[in-house]
Amino acid sequence: MSALPTFEDVQAAAARLAGQAHRTPVLRSGTADALGGGARFFFKCENFQRMGAFKFRGGYNALARFTPQQRQRGALAFSSGNHAQAVALAARLLGMPATILMPQDAPAAKLAATRGYGAEVITFDRFKEDREALARRLAEERGMTLVPPYDHADVIAGQGTAALELFQEVGELDHLFVCLGGGGLLGGCALAARAMSPRCKVYGVEPEAGNDGQRSFRSGELVHIEVPRTIADGAQTQHLGQLTFPLIRHNVDDIFTASDAQLVDAMRFYASRMKMLVEPTGCLSLAGALACGLDLQDARVGVLISGGNVDLARFAQLAGS
């Protein structure tokens, strides 16, 4: 097993990302504060990041660390979501080839966006083919380097720069809520919190229908589940990783869940009150903060909004219902 990333790795990632990733804004909302029982919320808006989600941070950091030989052959990723676009964009910026494996029934807009960044997209039948085996075989045949979506030290360190920027901008916090899928974002952000705001409690929030992270965290055993049915498509992961699980066990205070109905409420809130589009998975952190039952009165609370990639028809269908 490779070594766990450290806060120094997050700082090194921040230096690599300077001038490449956007320094996303931190927004406030008096209405949100009231909804949170007198909390003082600080929203770190990665929905405004390049390609629309924090995943650009980890993807770029991982590719920037390739050796010259790895750069020549390029990066390979499998993803139907934001990681695909992150690796495609990072590869283009770093001048290397990228191949992305996507399910043939992925939304046309996502296939087009990934191709638009210049990546070669290879589709597969997700009901018939094992994508991990396929990805490994392709990587080997082509000499490309496989970049996993969360269980990779450089990816985790890159994701942690989102929280690093938040603490740099607003100082110490009492609580930090982070959207949780496979745990790359939460693991990296927890490293930043431990170093920059040691008393800050850090929480992951995952979909209620897929609470493998919560069960793993609380039991100490890595729990695997079936693909959960939830509108939070960026958090339909089946288990935490070999790196993210120990990182989260050591550095995170608890894991909460949010229902799809609570995600829709948060999505409507962001659109109507804060005038911004947040994808269902990006709503986990606020939904969790409002549903967790903690007393947040007068507390300084960070809410990491992870992404904003939801097509308008889907948004209208969810928010209008």
Ligand X SMILES: *Cc1c(COP(=O)(O)O)cnc(C)c1O
DSSP 229-265: --S-GGG--SS--TTHHHHHHHH--EEEEE-HHHHHH
Instruction: Assess contact for 178 and 289: CB atoms under 8 A.
Output: no
Q: Which is nearer to ligand X, 74 or 181 (CB)?
A: 181
What residues are paired with 211 via a beta bridge? none
Residue 87 three-state SS? helix
Q: How far is the CB of 86 from ligand X (least distance, A)?
A: 8
Residues in Cβ contact with 116 at an 8 Å cutoff, skipping those fewer than 6 apart? none
Question: For residues 98 and 162, which CB has a smaller minimum distance to ligand X in the complex?
Answer: 162
Output 53 or 202, the one with its CB closest to ligand X. 53
Among residues 29, 44, 55, 216, the one annotated as catalytic is 55
Minimum gap (Å) between residue 48 Cβ and ligand X = 12
- Is residue 128 annotated as a catalytic residue, yes or no? no
Q: Cβ 180 to ligand X, closest distance in Å?
A: 5
Residue nearer to ligand X on the CB measure, 36 or 181? 181
Q: How far is the CB of 204 from ligand X (least distance, A)?
A: 8
Nearer to ligand X, 75 or 299 (CB): 75
Whether 275 is catalytic? no
Q: How far is CA 50 from CA 151, 181, 210, 215, in A?
A: 21, 20, 28, 33
CB of 17 to ligand X, least distance (A): 16
Residue nearest to ligand X (CB): 307
Distance CA 148, CA 129 (A): 18
> CA nearest 6: which of 163, 185, 190?
190
Residues lying near ligand X in the complex (CB under 6 A): 53, 55, 81-82, 149-150, 159, 179-186, 234-235, 237, 279, 281-282, 306-307
Beta strand 26-27 with 40-45 is: antiparallel
**Which stretches within the chain are classed as H helix?**
7-17, 30-35, 55-64, 68-73, 82-94, 108-116, 131-142, 153-170, 184-196, 212-219, 244-251, 260-273, 284-291, 312-320
Of 29, 79, 80, 306, the catalytic one is 80
Catalytically annotated residues: 55, 80
